[in-house]
Every structure is written in C-alpha cells, then in structure tokens.
Chains A and B, each alone.
Chain A
Amino acid sequence: MPGWPDSDMSFAGEKSIKAWSSDSASAKVCISWGTGNKLRLSYLHPRTQEISSTATPSKVVEVKVGSVSSHESAMRRLVYDSLPAFALLQNRKQQALRQSQRGLPSDWWETVLQYSRSISVVLGANKSSSGSVLNETSEMEKRTLLRAIWDLLEIVYVDKHASSWLTEQLTDWLERYDQVLSNVEPTVNSKLSVLKPKLINTRFPEDDEDYWSSLASALSIGWLDVVVKYLRMHGSYQHDQIDNRQTENGLVEAVAVLISKMPRLQQSSKTDTVGVTYTFKPEFSKAWERWRNQISKLVTSVFWLECTHEGTANGLKQLLSILLGDTNILISATTHWMELLVSHVLFVKPFLMGSEGLLSLARKCMQLKPPIGIDQLTELLLAIIGENTEVVLVECRKHFDPWMVTHMLELLSAKNGQAQSFLTEERDEFDGLSLEEFHRLVYAQILSSYPCTWQLTPFYLASGTHQGQGLLEAILLMRPVSSDSKVSAKVLDICRMYDLHAVAERYKRMMGVYYWKHGRKGLGISWLQCGRDYSRLTYAANELFTDVSQASVGDSGRLQELDSLIDLLGPQFEGFGGLAFLHRFRDFKGALFSFQEGLANSISFDKQVVAGKTAVKHLMQLMKDGITADKFLLPLLQDAVELLNFSGEVLVSSAETNILLLRLQNLTITNKHDTVLDLSSESVAKIRLALGRNLGRAILKD
C-alpha cells in the first residue's frame, strides 16, 4: 500500500513510543499562527535513543508573513497619518450612500480628490517627523515611488478635470518623479546635476556636447525654465564675445524666447512656469499654430549660415526639432519611455485629451524606447494609463504592501463606475466578499500583528459586512491579558463603538479570571462584575466565604481586608446566591465583633444590648430561605451561642429562636449521613442547649 506505514513495524519498543514514532522520533516542524500574520515555527530535532546528540539544535522562529517593510517606525507613522483621511472618507461615503439609493453621487470624485491629496501629503512628509526620519535612501526612494504611483492614479482615476489638462498634469508629474522612474539609465535629473557644476566653471559650455544633450533632454520633457536659464549661460552672452558672435547670440536668444513663449493649455496660470498660459482650447490651438510657424520660420532662416559655431548651430537646431516634435530627436533626447510619452504629448500631440489616445501613444513610445533590463513598473504604469483596473490591482499587489492596495482602491472607484462595481461586487469565489473588503481584511490582519497598530483595525473592518466584523472580533479576542489598563480600555472601547457586546463580556471574563487566579481578588471581582458573569461571581463569593469563615473572630485584620472586597461586590448583587449571603454574613460578623468588643471593654449596658440586637437582626437575615448554604449554618449557629447566652437581656425573641431551632433540625435531618458536617459533635448539643434555654427565657419575657 503506497504511503501507508508498514504494518509489520517491529513491536520491540514500548507501545507508546511506537505510536509516536511517526512524528516524534524524527525532526519535525510545529506550526502555530499568532495574531495577524505572525507565524511561529518550532524546528524540533528531538534526541533519539540511537543518536545521543543531534547536529542541529531545536529552535523557535517567528516569521511575519507578507510584511515587506523593515522600517517599522516609518511604517507606523504612515499608518497613523493616513488613518484620519481614510476614516473621514469612509464616513462621507456612508453618509452619501445613506442619502441616495442609487449609489455615490456624480461629484463623489471631488471628495476622493481631497482624500487623495491628504494621503499624497502624508506620503511626502517624511522629513519632519523625528522618529521616522527616512535616513536610508532606499526607503526614501520606495516612499517616493509610492507617491509617484499614487499621484498618477489620482490624475487618471480621480481628477475629472485632469483629462482636460492632461499634458500639463503629466509634465508636472514627471518633473516630480522622474528621478525614481528609472534606476538604470542616466535620467534627465542626473544629467543636469552633472552639468550644473560644470556650467559654473566653464566660460564656453557650448563646446561641450553634454551641454546640448542635457538641454535637449530637459526640453523634451518640458523643463522649459531650466532650458531657458541654461541657454542664457551660453558663451556668446559673455561681454567680450558679443561683437564676434552677434548672430550666434541672436539665434540663441531667439530660441530661448521661443521656448519661453511656448503656449500651454493650463487650468490656471502658474507663476513659476515658463510659457504662455491658455485656458480655452480654441485660443490655445490658434496660438500653437502661430508659435509653430515662428519656429518653422526660424529653422529656415538665413542667419544659420552666419553662425560659425558648429556646436551651437547643431544644438539649437536640435532644440528646435524637439519643439517641432521630431520623433527621432525626441527618442534620442529621452531615456525612459515615460519621458518619451511626455515629450509626445508636449510636442507631437498637444491636443490630446482624455486617456483614450494616451494608452496607444504609451504603447508606441514603449516600442520606440523599450525598457532596459527588467523595468518592474512598466506593466503598472501602462495599466494605470489605460485605466485597466484589474491589472492595476494585480500589479499593485505584486509591488506594494497591503497599505497601498487598501488605500488606493478608493482612488480606483472615484469616478470609474466600472472599476467601482469591479471592486465592490460580491464574489462567489470569495464567498460573497468584494475585492475591497478582501483587501481590507488582508491589511487589517497585518496591522493586528503589531503592538501599536492593532487598534486601528476597526477603521478598516467595521464597514466589512461579511467578514470584517468577524475578523475584528477575532483580533480583539486574541489580545493578551495585560496589566496595561490602556490596552484593556482600548479593547472595550472598540467593543462599545462597534456594538460588540458579546466580545466585551468575554474579554472582561477573561480579565476577571486572570486576576482572580493571579492573586488580585478585588480586580478579579471587579472585572467579573463588569462582565456580568454571575456563575463565576457566585463561585468567587463562595470561596471568599470560606476565607471569611476561617478567619477567627479575633482576626479582625483579615476580616477588614475582605471587607473592602465584599463592599466591592456592591448591593446590586444581592440576590445572586453566595454574594447576598456574603454581604449579610459580613454585616453579621461585624455586628458580632462589636458585641464581643463591648463585652471585653465593658461598655454601657444599653449599648451592649443594641449591639447584640443588631447582630441578631443580621443573623435572622441569614436564616431566610435560600440565603445560607447548609454547610455554613453550623458555624453561624455556633457564633449565635454567645448571643443566646448573653446574661443581661434576652436578645433573641421566641419567634426567632424557633426559626433557629427549625433550621438546626432540618440540617440534622437532611444531612444525617454527611461526614463533612460534624453533626454528632458536642457543638450541636451545645447549640441545642443554648437555644432551648433561650426559648424558655424568651417565653417568660413575652
């Protein structure tokens, strides 16, 4: 039989060892999951009889599954800072959904835009906070990359207005994030940073080919201000050069002016941008034509013949070709296909609106400038540009941690109805979970693995109609008992906020039992009371009673200690068996104690009688049906003997004596064979005698 343990395995060893031979004799791994994504593995290499010592020692290892960030404090800062925006968005979403049956309003994207901007600020704020200074450049880069993707998602998926100003949006975006896009090639950024120190030391930068190629690169992706500034550092501007290089200088200046006159379609004129702003498209297209004509004229002008500096002539012509949208020049000027794409929308297709044409353009650019090596982001960038939500999700899951995935899902569904239903539809293969809820579960589970972030999980789980609440309950119930009152208060506050009463009671019970068993009786009782666990409270009260009843009369200290505990049990717990009893017993003992004290200190007779009568009153309370368990009756009656035998005055009336007699009788009848209650002893006889004598005295008095 394949895979079957050999049934003829020898029976030489003990039966027990045989039974365990399958997994105990050889090395094995014990798996246990902790909260969240913590996986604990025990690698066990047990010592066997044959081999006395093993080569590999046994060990316990903890693995945090799926956690990518090694920089935990920075991760927590991001988690904390992104929470208010997310929570606010969820509140608004719920409000909006309550107001309208037909789903989110058409201007919902504006709310998401606010959210997106706040998160983007959070992603950018990594320098100001002390603990989470991202001093490692790789971490910085990762964060910037995250923000780059976030902002691109915002342009494509959230900002409805962005499609009208797509060129500018993309140019701005590239300006901010060009440095993180490609890590292989020299980027425009790096080119410029090499050039900058050179310019200071060189009088004639135009002799250097790098000068022109850097300018071309910068121009191709729309960094007009840089290009204009650097052009004016051209050697022909030097005072001593002007005379000889007048034409050359004229051409340089002409190109600089043309660049700074470039028409731009923008929402509003920004002060720091070079170019002429148009907000109305027809005006823009007229201006564009005019501007292009001017460039064409300059290209064909005769002045070029007079320009003797070959480098300048070629360089300037290259710049003009870029302005005219010469694809070949653009390809050579740019390094990354994203740059090429931006150069295309800037100079080749300035009238491109919306994302329809953008994707095919992006594809074309990618063919023209294929990514060098493995560019992991290509797929993601293409998917975002093409608004291919499914691929965006898959790629984000691949490259980023669950923080990103959970938070960016809100962007995807801001205005794109298709994406909205893709993310929120209930999926059979996930047992009714939507992709949105699924990813929130994943994120919450990661948050729950850290000591400072588990309490944020409700913000991500409470809206989950299927499993969110269940996971939240599980997270709360896995919180260990802690003397940190902040932790327990947190658990209970979450329960209060989200109506998880059953969890709260279970948690309080857990706390109560822990303290009760660990030498903190009062705390234990307080917690059990909070948890309304009457069965455990009754048991606790019984145990307390045993304590109290064992404390001898003289041991007032012990009684006093327990006193505060019984006080704690509170009058509202009357009626719960042992607790009601304990209260009355305490009162009785207290009264009896002051009676005895009176005897010893020979206080006035009247006071003594009052004390005695109070004790009797409490004793009679204890004799009511169902208050006192049988096993406690005898010690009580023994205590009563002193009151019965008080010589000065009859403290116990005939009716009361009769009740006591009755209880004693019942006790002896029902517990005849009980060995615990020593009913045959002298003490019973003594009680009987005292009762009998008192009855006589009481009848006489009556």
Chain B
Amino acid sequence: MMVEASPLLRGTEGVPLTAGVEVWRIPQGGYVDAVRWMPPATAWHQSIATALWDPDDGTFKLQLSSFSFEEGPSIQEIASWELPERASVLKTLPFSSQQAIVASASFAGTMSFIITKLLGPDVVPPPPILSSPIHDRIITGIDLQSDTHDCISVGEDGKINLTQLTESHLSHTCLIDNHGITSFMDVCWSSPAEFVTAGLGFSLQWWDHRRSGGPVQVSNKWTHGRGGGFIHMIDVHPSRKHVCVVGGSNGVVLAWDLRWQKEPIQLCGISDLRGQPVTESMVESDVWEVKFDPFSLSGSSSMSSKVPPVMICSEDGILGVLEAGEAPWEILAEPCAINTLDINPENFTDVICGLEFESLLYVKRSS
C-alpha cells in the first residue's frame, strides 16, 4: 500500500519552521512503537523498518517499507511480519553488503531477528528467528555490535544478556542477573567487548563482557545529588568510543567523556547536577531518544576535547539539537510526543521520527 505524506500544515500557528528545514507527516494505521532507517543498499534506495501496534485489534507488526522522495516523501510496504508481542526496541544493522539485520525486542522478554535482502522485495519474506523469553517481562534496551553482530540486551529484570546470531539460530549467554534488584533501561556497545548500561538514578555503568563480576566502572560518584529519575536512552559516539550521551526524565541530557572521569556535562534538564532548578531548558519532560548528530557537526565541535552535538526527541514534542556551549536548536515543537527518532546513516540531513498520533514524521534539513 502506498502512503503519501502531507506537508505539515502549520501556517496558522504563526511559528515559522526553522529556516532550511522541511517537515512532512506520514499517517500510519497504528501506533508507531519504533522506526529505524534500514542500512542503505545504494544511495538511491532508502527504506525504513517500523514497529506498529494496532490498538483496534491489539496486533503488532514489523513492517519494511521503501522510502522515496518526489516532491514529497512516500513510503511503500515491501514486507511485513506479525509479531507475537509488542515491540519495545527496534535496531537495524548491515549484515552483509546485500543483507541487513532487523532486531526487535518485546514487552514479554523475547527477541526476534530478521535477516532480509536490502534491495528489492524478497519473493518470500524470510521468517523471523524468534527467541524464547530471555528476560523476565520487558526488554528495555538492545544494541547490535557492528563488527560481531552480537546483540546485547537489558531489561527491567536486571539481566544483561548476550545473544549471538549465527545463520539461523540464536545462542544466549546471561552475563549479569541481579534478580530485579536494579533495572536497566538501555544499553549501548562501545567496542566489540565493552558496553555501557544505564537505568535508575542517572547512573552509568561501563562493562566488559570478557570480565566476570560487576561493572568496570560506575558513574555514581559523578552524579551525587540527583536522586530519583530514569535514563531512557544511551548513545556512544561511533568513532569516539569514550564519549557517550544519555537522555532521561525531567529533560535531562548528560554527556560523559569517559577518559576523564569527571562530572558529566549537562546539556539539558530542568535541574542541574546539584538539584538546583535551571531557568531555561529546551525540554522539560522525558527525553526518549538521544543520537549523535553528524549533520550538526561544525568546525568548532570537531575538536576532540568537545562533546559533539546530539539530536534528541521528547515527550513534550520537541525535536532538537544540543551542543555544549551552544544555544540549543529547536527544530520542531509538535502537539504530541515524539517517541522515537533515527538519523539516516547515509544522508545525515534526513531524520525519521515516530509520533504519538500514529504518524511518522520526516524531517529534511537542507545541506
């Protein structure tokens, strides 16, 4: 089915869009749980993976759609799979030059992997490789390692699982199980063996899966005074593995340079590291996604001592870019939450978001 996007009707509000940004809404027939760009097959063939929830009949599906742009964007379904459970996380990664992995985790602790052709529709969509429940209830975060294709997953149950994917079957190793005493909200690889987790209370843990026992480093001592709150999302810089950024409750966006174990740099949030209120914060509610934004990289921010710019989206409908020492760039303020975002890995100008109002949002920045 072909779906055309309608350009944003926004003239009445009197708030002009930031110059050089074009925005389209693409209505979907269900709630968008997650959306990701697929690894590009060629520069001209873009596609996206979407996890959808249909509130009418309570079904969940994963959909692959080709994405084309002529005058406006339009998407066309290539393949779709019924998911047995509602998707909580979705990640995509190139598997080979011709194939990609689409990994999704569910509210019921299961995972599914689909290895699909990048170009053209499959004659028969490949069946997903489904896992048994490896977490007790919701998986809150997964990440795919780009070299090894290993999948690391964390959940509210306090488990960290490593899933290795070979041709058609999965093997799981439980690295950590703290029996639900603490919970993890997200995980991100920083190297083929190291990863970062976060969750309760704005703390960050740095792990090495070759070492048993606890984390290699814990950031608690750097975040005294924060108290209650959650981190929802982590991103580790793709080339500078020691730089990582998190987003969480109360509009908090923190960046760490792990080489210097000093206090994190606060990029956003309604109160500072000591719990004192901050007068102006671009976002005041939960930050749902943080992503290093290669597009916004300016001359000054490429300095190695500086944390590169990050793009965020939030519960209060903000899509924006933050950079230490720079004024925040508010790209969009939507009337509903922006639950998920992804920057096109091939074309940094393009951003796709999932909106609360059962729509995708396509943002094109002029280069």
A and B touch in the complex (CB under 8 A): yes
- Contact in complex: B275, A486 (CB < 8 Å): no
Binds A, one of B26-34, B165-173, B256-264: B26-34
Q: In the assembly, what is the distance between CA of A530 and CA of B31, in Å?
A: 28
- The 8 Å CB contact of B214, one of A450, A522, A560, is A560
Point out the residues of chain B lying under 8 angstroms from A300, CB to CB. none
B16 within 8 A of A: no
Give how many A-B residue pairs fall within 8 Å (CB-CB): 144
- Contact in complex: A520, B180 (CB < 8 Å): yes
Point out the residues of chain A lying under 8 angstroms from B300, CB to CB. none
- The 8 Å CB contact of B358, one of A76, A128, A496, is A76
- The 8 Å CB contact of A131, one of B6, B203, B214, B358, is B358
- Contact in complex: B181, A565 (CB < 8 Å): yes
A285 within 8 A of B: no
- The range of chain A's interface size is 35 or more
**Minimum Cβ distance to chain B for residue A293 (Å):** 47
Point out the residues of chain A lying under 8 angstroms from B98, CB to CB. none
Point out the residues of chain B lying under 8 angstroms from A452, CB to CB. 31, 55, 358
A54 within 8 A of B: no
- The 8 Å CB contact of B27, one of A130, A490, A521, A565, is A130
Q: In the assembly, what is the distance between CA of A85 and CA of B158, in Å?
A: 44
- Contact in complex: A131, B339 (CB < 8 Å): no
Chain A residues 482-496 with CB under 8 Å of chain B are 483-486, 489-490, 492-493, 496
B148 within 8 A of A: no
Instruction: Classify the interface of chain A: helix, strand, loop or mixed.
Output: helix
- Contact in complex: B214, A80 (CB < 8 Å): no
- Contact in complex: B229, A523 (CB < 8 Å): no
Q: In the assembly, what is the distance between CA of A497 and CA of B337, in Å?
A: 13
- Contact in complex: B107, A526 (CB < 8 Å): no
Most-contacted residue by chain B among A87, A522, A529, A567 (CB, 10 A): A522
Chain B residues 137-153 with CB under 8 Å of chain A are 137-138, 140
- Contact in complex: A519, B180 (CB < 8 Å): yes
Point out the residues of chain B lying under 8 angstroms from A329, CB to CB. none
- Contact in complex: A451, B337 (CB < 8 Å): no
Instruction: Classify the interface of chain B: helix, strand, loop or mixed.
Output: loop
Do A88 and B358 form a contact, CB below 8 Å, given A130-B27, A451-B55, A493-B286? no
- Contact in complex: B316, A450 (CB < 8 Å): no
Do A73 and B56 form a contact, CB below 8 Å, given A489-B285, A493-B286, A561-B178? yes
B347 within 8 A of A: no
Do A526 and B228 form a contact, CB below 8 Å, given A80-B358, A489-B286? yes
Q: In the assembly, what is the distance between CA of A7 and CA of B359, in Å?
A: 65
For residue B137, which residue of chain A has the nearest CB? Answer: A483
Point out the residues of chain B lying under 8 angstroms from A118, CB to CB. 9, 12
- Contact in complex: A493, B12 (CB < 8 Å): no
- Contact in complex: B225, A564 (CB < 8 Å): no
Point out the residues of chain B lying under 8 angstroms from A485, CB to CB. 140, 185, 230, 232, 286
Chain B residues 234-293 with CB under 8 Å of chain A are 249, 275, 284-286, 288
A594 within 8 A of B: no
Q: In the assembly, what is the distance between CA of A352 and CA of B348, in Å?
A: 61
- Contact in complex: A526, B201 (CB < 8 Å): yes
- The 8 Å CB contact of B4, one of A128, A486, A560, A572, is A128
Most-contacted residue by chain B among A132, A520, A521 (CB, 10 A): A520
Point out the residues of chain A lying under 8 angstroms from B339, CB to CB. 486
**Minimum Cβ distance to chain B for residue A379 (Å):** 34
Do A131 and B226 form a contact, CB below 8 Å, given A80-B357, A114-B12, A489-B315? no
Q: In the assembly, what is the distance between CA of A521 and CA of B30, in Å?
A: 34
A84 within 8 A of B: yes
Q: In the assembly, what is the distance between CA of A589 and CA of B285, in Å?
A: 38
Point out the residues of chain A lying under 8 angstroms from B224, CB to CB. 571
- Contact in complex: B31, A130 (CB < 8 Å): no
Q: In the assembly, what is the distance between CA of A84 and CA of B13, in Å?
A: 9
Q: In the assembly, what is the distance between CA of A132 and CA of B359, in Å?
A: 12
**Minimum Cβ distance to chain B for residue A121 (Å):** 8
Interface string of A458-476 (1 = CB under 8 A from B): 0000000000000000000
Provide a sorted-by-A list of 8 A–B residue pairs whose CB atoms are within 8 angstroms.
Answer: A73-B358, A80-B357, A118-B12, A125-B6, A128-B6, A132-B27, A489-B285, A567-B203
Spell out A's residues near B (CB within 8 Å). 72-73, 76-77, 80-81, 83-85, 87-88, 114, 118, 121, 125, 128-132, 450-452, 455, 483-486, 489-490, 492-493, 496-497, 519-523, 526-527, 529-530, 560-562, 564-565, 567-568, 570-573
20 further A-B contacts with Cβ under 8 Å, apart from A73-B54, A493-B315, are: A73-B30, A83-B335, A85-B12, A131-B358, A132-B29, A452-B358, A484-B138, A485-B185, A486-B288, A486-B339, A522-B158, A523-B156, A523-B200, A526-B230, A530-B228, A561-B181, A562-B181, A564-B178, A568-B203, A572-B275
Closest 4 CB pairs of A and B: A131-B29, A529-B228, A129-B27, A522-B182
